[in-house]
Amino acid sequence: MKKKIVILGNSSGTPTLIEAIRANDQDSDITIVSPDGQLPYDRNLLPALMAKEVTSAKALVKNTDFYAKNKVQSILGKKVTKINFRKNQVTIEEKELILDYDVLVVSSLPERKLPDIKGVNKVGIFALDQLAAVDQF
């Protein structure tokens, strides 16, 4: 039976999940929603990116061909604004898009916030948990 599978976030384990799904199911729709605008990447490589020892392309767990080959739709740079568990729906960007799902996986969402401390929003202060944070360095 064809299912609609929605993966929220872009943890480095997401490609392994996709491979496991595709090993048993070639037909279901798979969609990744990544609010930080990136396909799954290895967060352990963020310090190496800051040091310019690797490129952002090298930090990706799988290249973009992997997602095309496995028929994965990617919605990048859009925020999840609501999850309706009763209707099995995920709302993106205040009703810009509503995704129906049969299976919902919350992989990793980059919505971490720094503590509410005076000065935390100044230039040069950032959380090293997103690929985009490296650009601030």
pLDDT in tens, the chain (137 residues): 899 999 988 888 899 999 999 999 999 999 999 988 889 989 889 889 889 999 988 999 999 999 999 999 999 999 888 989 899 999 998 888 999 999 999 887 655 555 566 665 666 555 555 666 556 54
Res 31: pLDDT: 97
Res 76: pLDDT: 94
SS3 per-residue string spanning the chain: CCCEEEEEECCCCHHHHHHHHHHHCCCCEEEEEECCCCCCECHHHHHHHHCCCCCHHHHECCCHHHHHHCCEEEEECCCEEEEECCCCEEEECCCCEEEECCEEEEEECCCCCCCCCCCCCCCCCCCCCCHHHHCCC
What is the value of pTM for the model shown? Answer: 0.79
